[in-house]
A and B are shown apart, each in its own frame.
Chain A
Amino acid sequence: MNYRAAIWLSILIGFFLAEAFPQTSRDASVDNKLIITDSLSRTISIPSKLERIISLQPELTRIIVSLGGGDKLVGLDAFLRRYDALFKMYYPKVSRLPLVSMTGADVNIEMVLELRPDVIFASPFEFHIPDSLQNKIRKPVVALASMGRFKSLIQEIELVGGLIGQRERASELIQYFKQKIEFVRNSVASIPQDERPKVYLSFWASLTKTPVFYEPVNAAGGVNIAEGLLPSFLGTTETVIHLEEIIQRNPDFILVQGNFLPEERMVTVEQVLQDARLGSVKAVKDRKVFYTFGFWSWWDPAEVLLETLYLASLLYPEKFGQINLEKEGNEIFKKFYGMENGFSLLSGILKCNEWNKN
C-alpha cells in the first residue's frame, strides 16, 4: 500500500469514527450542567442555564411563556401559530419566530443549526426525532410531555423554571395550580369509588378513540371507564374502544373533545345524542353528553386547570354549582399569561357558552 492511499484511508476511518460516536459532552464542571431523564427515558445532560431555546412541544412553549421566558425562545414548531388563536394574543412574538418544524415530524436541520440553541424541547410522540436530531446537531434534545398527568406537568414547570432562572415564578404557579386542584380533590374525597360518576371521553376526532388516562376527570371525582384498558405507558395513552364495551360500561357522562372550532369537530354532541346504537347508555338517556376541552398530546396548563373546575361543576353540580367558571377562567389565564379576559376570549372562539345547554 502506498503512502497516498494510507493517508486517504486514515482520513476516511477518522471521518467514520467521528460520525459513529457522537460526542455527548460530559464536562467535569457539574455546576453548569444538569443531568435529566426525559419522557422517552433518555438521559441527557443539558446546560443548567438556558438562553436560547427551540421548542417543538406546544406544552413546553406555553410553560416557557407563562414563566416569563418568552424572550429566550428562538425557534418554534408551527402548531401554536396555526391552531392557537389565543397564544398570539399573549405572546405576539410567535408570528416573528422562525418555524423550525411544520408538522412536528419534520425538522429543518439547517435552520436549527443557524439558531444556535442551547437545548431543543421535542415531543416524545415523534420518537425518532430526539435521538437523530441530537446526533445531527450535537445539542441536547429533550422529549417531554405530561401525558395527561398533573404530576408530570408540575415537574415540567419546575424544571423549566429552574433552567430559565425563574424558580420563584415557577413555584408561584405550581402553588396556585396545586391549590386549585386540591380544592376540587378534597371536596370529592369523601365520595366512595363506586358512587363516583362514570365518564366516557371521546377524543381525537373519533367516537371510539379514548384516553386510558386523563387526570382532570379523576381529580374532578369522576371515573374514566377506559382506565386500565391499556397500560398507560408512553405512546398508548389513546386507544380505540369497542362500541359494545362503552354500552356495557354504561357511563353516566359522555364528554367530547371540544377545543376545536365548532365547524371542525368530527364528533359532535348532537351526533352522540342521536346515535341509535347508544340509545341504551345512561349518559345518552339522561342527555348528559357535553363538550370538554381535552388534549392532543399536549396541554395548556391554564386551560387544564379550568377544565378540572369545569368538570367538577359538571359532575357534581350541587357541590360546585356556585363556581363562576368565566370569572375563574379569566383569573387563571391572567395568572398564567398576564391576559385580561383570556378565558372569555377562548370561550368565544370555542363557543363554550353553548356547552351546558342540554
Chain B
Amino acid sequence: MSGIRTKKIGLLSTLILILPIFVLVLSLTIGSYPISPKNLLKTLASGIVSVFKHSPPSIYHDIVFRIRFPRLLLALAVGASLSVSGASLQAFFRNPLVNEYILGISSGSAFGAALSLVFLGKGFPVQLAAFFFAVIAVLAVFLIAGSSDAPIVSLLLTGVIVSAFFSALLALVEYFANPYALQALFFWLMGSLSLATWREISLSLPLMVLGIGVLILLRWRMNVLSMSSDEARALGIDVRRENMLVIVATALTTASATAVAGIISWVGLIVPHMVRMMVGVDNRRVIPLSAAFGASFLMLADDITRGLTSFEIPIGIFTNIIGIPLFIFLLKKSAKVWL
C-alpha cells in the first residue's frame, strides 16, 4: 500500500518538475499579436540561427524574443523565487501562514521604489533601490530581534513591526510626491511583469537563480531546521549560522524578484501548500517542486493576463482567481491533513 503511494508521489514529482518547460512553450504562443504555431516554430528556429549568423529583423522575432521570452523567463524566475522562499520560510518558522514577505521585504522594497521614483527620478534604476531597502528591512529585523537564533515568535513579530514601519514611511513619501512620480509608483506597486526587458532582468535573474539554487541545496537541512531549536541544537546544528543562511537566501531571492516585478501576493503562501498536498512534507521534494510549480503557476497567471484582454490586469488578481479554486480542489483530493 505504501509502496504504491511512494510510486505515485514519485511520478507526480517528475511531472511537476518538467511542467515549467511545457508551460513555457505553450505560453510563447499566447499574446495580443497573433502568431500561428507554425510561425512561432519558424521564429524560434531562426532565433537559434541568429545567434550564430545575423538575420534581418522581423516583427515575429521582436515579439517572441524581445517581448514574450523575457517576460516568460521573468515569470518563471519570479514564480520560482517567491514559491521557494515561501516554502523555506514556512518550514523555518514552522508556521503555515507565513509567506515570503514576512520579514518586511514587501514594505521595504515598496519604500525603496518610492524613494527612488520620487526623489531620484528616472536617472536611478528603481530595481536597485527596491532591492536595497528590502535587504535593509531584513537586516533591521535581525538587529531588532537580537540575533538569528532568537525565538521564532520574536522574529515574526519583528517582521510585522518592520513591515509596518516601512509602510508608514511609504505613505509619507506618497504624500510629498509629485503626481508624475506617484503615478509611476502606483504602477510599480501594482505588481506586473510587463517591465521585463532583457536589460531589466539581466541583474535580477542571476540573483534569483543563485538564491533558488542555495535554497534547493539546503532542502534536506530544512527538515532538520523545522524541528525546534533545541532539537536542532541537539543534532549539532549551529542554529544561529544556519538560520542566518536560510533567511539571507530567502531575502535575496525575494528581494530580487520583488525589485523587478513589484509585489505579487499569494504565490509564496499557496504554492508550497499545494505542493505538500501532492507530495507530502519532506522538503527534499517540497523545495524544488515549489520552484517548478510556482514557475508554472505564475507563467499561467501571466498567460491569462496577456491573452484574456487587450489591457493589463494586475497579475495578483489572477494568482488569486486560479490559485484559490486550485487550492480547494487539491484540498478535497488529498488527505485533509497535509502538514
Contacts and interface: CB of A to CB of B under 8 A. Distances in A.
B32 A277 contact: no
B169 interface: no
Interface in A282-296: 296
Contacts of B63: 244, 247
Given A205-B187, A209-B187, A280-B62, A266 B180 contact: yes
B120 to A, nearest CB: 11
Interface residues of A, number: 33
Interface in A202-243: 204-206, 208-209, 229-230, 239-243
Interface stretch (A257-265, A323-331, A335-343): A257-265
A79 interface: yes
Nearest to B314: A240
Residue of B183, B184, B197, B310 with highest tally of chain A CB at under 10 A: B310
Interface string A50-87: 00000000000000000000000000000100110000
Given A204-B183, A247-B59, A277-B67, A264 B121 contact: yes
A242 B311 contact: yes
A245 B194 contact: no
A83 B66 CA distance: 37
B66 A276 contact: yes
Contact of A205 (B68, B174, B181): B181
A354 B311 CA distance: 32
Interface in B66-93: 66-68
A243 B67 contact: yes
A92 interface: no
B312 A279 contact: no
Interface string B186-202: 01000010100100000
Nearest to B123: A263
A265 B117 CA distance: 11
B175 interface: yes
B310 A241 contact: yes
Interface in A330-356: none
Size class of B's contact patch?
Answer: 20 to 34
A206 B183 contact: yes
B33 interface: yes
Nearest to A247: B33
Contact of B62 (A240, A260, A279): A279
B53 interface: no
B87 to A, nearest CB: 31
Q: Which interface residue of A102, A204, A242, A260 has the most chain B CB atoms within 10 A?
A: A242
A79 B310 CA distance: 33
B180 A245 contact: no
A240 B187 CA distance: 9
A248 interface: yes
Greatest chain B CB density within 10 A among A83, A241, A263 is at A241
Contacts of B67: 243-244, 247, 277
A208 B312 contact: yes
Contacts of A266: 117, 122, 180-181, 184
Contacts of B121: 263-264
A103 interface: yes
A229 B310 CA distance: 7
Nearest to B59: A280
B194 A277 contact: no
Given A209-B187, A264-B178, A276-B66, A248 B32 contact: yes
Contacts of B57: 279-280
A242 B194 CA distance: 8
Contact of B184 (A102, A106, A205): A205
B276 interface: no
B273 interface: no
Contacts of B33: 244-245, 247-248
Contact of B180 (A205, A208, A243): A205
A181 B183 CA distance: 30
Nearest to A245: B32
Given A79-B179, A208-B194, A244 B122 contact: no
B59 A245 contact: no
Given A204-B183, A266-B180, A276-B62, A240 B310 contact: no
Nearest to B30: A244
Contacts of A230: 311
B31 interface: yes
A242 B304 CA distance: 12
Contact of B66 (A82, A264, A277): A277
Given A205-B187, A208-B194, A247-B59, A296 B32 contact: no
B311 A239 contact: yes
A82 B62 CA distance: 42
Given A82-B178, A264-B121, A277 B310 contact: no
A277 B187 contact: no
Contacts of B175: 102-103, 106
Contacts of B68: 244
A190 B311 CA distance: 32
Closest 5 CB pairs of A and B: A244-B32, A240-B312, A205-B184, A245-B32, A280-B59
Interface of A: 79, 82-83, 102-103, 106, 204-206, 208-209, 229-230, 239-245, 247-248, 260, 263-266, 268, 276-277, 279-280, 296
Interface of B: 31-34, 57-59, 62-63, 66-68, 117, 121-122, 174-175, 178-181, 183-184, 187, 192, 194, 197, 306, 310-312
Given A241-B310, A247-B62, 16 more contacts: A106-B175, A205-B181, A205-B187, A241-B311, A241-B312, A242-B194, A242-B311, A247-B32, A247-B63, A248-B33, A264-B121, A266-B181, A277-B62, A277-B66, A277-B67, A296-B179
27 contacts: A82-B178, A83-B179, A103-B175, A204-B180, A204-B183, A205-B184, A205-B187, A206-B187, A208-B312, A229-B310, A240-B192, A240-B312, A242-B311, A243-B194, A245-B310, A247-B32, A247-B33, A247-B63, A247-B67, A264-B178, A264-B181, A265-B180, A266-B180, A266-B184, A277-B67, A280-B57, A280-B59
